[in-house]
């Protein structure tokens, strides 16, 4: 069973790689996409500079860098619908494939790219705004970025399953989700600012815990504290992936039963 699941994800990832090479060349990714994301981080960081508080500037620059994970993995909401627009989704529904596993592999290019872009943003931009990294912190930050990207991707998969049914609203879904995560995960505004119900809801967002781990690394937190934040993020990611897995299964079950929601 594990072998079958691995095969499904691996074969879907072939499509992800092909899509990535179609969307970007290394030049357009490096000099177009990456520069655009780094500019976004700098833009948000300048807000802290305008406020005139070095601590707030450091707070914002780290938040803006981690948000790249969210904004880039949210692109999977749209790419989940690509098979539908290409007319191949019916063939997929007619096959015995497990849709949740297929779509997990189908858009893996986004968390892979997000890992690289977020790592570069975390390491390259904050030093210009007063955040200096020690050599030992570099691999830790890259690991946190990778786990945050994959965890945020799990959240996006559930949104993608909804977008598969309401494909015309796919960009609206991802945009609203990105705005809410930006506002409530503690990237720009401390969680303590929000009412307690909002803070509890924010705990379900993987980026909240990934950002906490980054701030702990920057602030000299202990290994136990960092691992606790990462553990909470993994639990949140597993919950999102489980919900997405069964959501995809429900959508395809209705389609296979003749009550198509994939037209």
Calculated CA dihedral for residues 249, 172, 200, 126, nearest 10 degrees: 110
Question: How high is the pLDDT of residue 112?
Answer: 96
Question: How high is the pLDDT of residue 169?
Answer: 87
Question: How high is the pLDDT of residue 60?
Answer: 94
With CA atoms as reference, report the closest residue to 26 among 116, 92, 90.
116
| Global pTM value | 0.93
Q: Name, in order, each residue with C-beta under 8 angstroms of 29's C-beta and a sequence gap of 6 or more.
A: 113
Q: What is the DSSP letter of 88?
A: -
Query: For 60-73, how does the pLDDT look when each residue is reduced to its tens digit (9 = 90+)?
Result: 999 999 999 999 99
Question: How high is the pLDDT of residue 89?
Answer: 77
| Distance (Å, whole) CA 143 – CA 220 | 17
CA distances (Å), origin 194, targets 81, 91, 110, 190:
34, 46, 30, 8
Mean pLDDT over residues 234-246, rounded?
97
CA-angle at 176, arms to 173 and 180, nearest 5°: 135
Backbone angles phi, psi at 43, to 5 degrees: -60, -50
Question: How high is the pLDDT of residue 33?
Answer: 94
Query: For 79-114, how does the pLDDT look when each residue is reduced to its tens digit (9 = 90+)?
Result: 988 887 777 777 787 788 888 999 999 999 999 999
Q: What is the DSSP letter of 33?
A: I
- What 137-140 contacts at long range (C-beta under 8 Å, 24+ apart), as own/partner pairs, is 137/217, 137/218, 140/217, 140/226
Question: How high is the pLDDT of residue 15?
Answer: 87
């Amino acid at each position: 069973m594990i072998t079958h699941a691995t095969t499904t994800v691996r074969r879907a990832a072939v499509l992800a790689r092909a899509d990535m090479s179609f969307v970007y060349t290394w030049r357009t990714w490096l000099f177009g996409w990456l520069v655009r994301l780094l500019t976004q981080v700098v833009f948000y960081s300048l807000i802290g500079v305008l406020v005139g508080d070095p601590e707030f500037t450091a707070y914002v620059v780290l938040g803006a860098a981690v948000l790249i994970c969210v904004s880039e993995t949210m692109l999977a909401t749209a790419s989940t619908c690509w098979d539908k627009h290409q007319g191949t989704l019916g063939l997929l529904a007619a096959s015995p494939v497990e849709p949740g596993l297929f779509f997990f592999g189908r858009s893996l290019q986004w968390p892979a790219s997000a890992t690289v872009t977020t790592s570069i943003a975390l390491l390259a931009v904050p030093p210009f705004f007063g955040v200096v990294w020690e050599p030992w912190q570099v691999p830790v930050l890259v690991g946190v970025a990778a786990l945050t990207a994959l965890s945020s991707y799990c959240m996006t998969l559930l949104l993608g399953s909804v977008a598969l049914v309401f494909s015309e609203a796919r960009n609206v879904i991802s945009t609203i989700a990105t705005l809410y995560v930006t506002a409530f995960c503690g990237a720009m505004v401390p969680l303590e600012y929000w009412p307690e119900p909002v803070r509890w809801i924010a705990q379900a967002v993987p980026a909240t815990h990934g950002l906490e781990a980054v701030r702990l690394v920057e602030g000299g937190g202990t290994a136990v504290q960092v691992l606790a934040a990462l553990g909470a993020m993994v639990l949140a990611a597993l919950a999102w992936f489980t919900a997405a897995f069964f959501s995809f299964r429900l959508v395809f079950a209705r389609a296979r039963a003749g009550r198509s929601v994939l037209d």
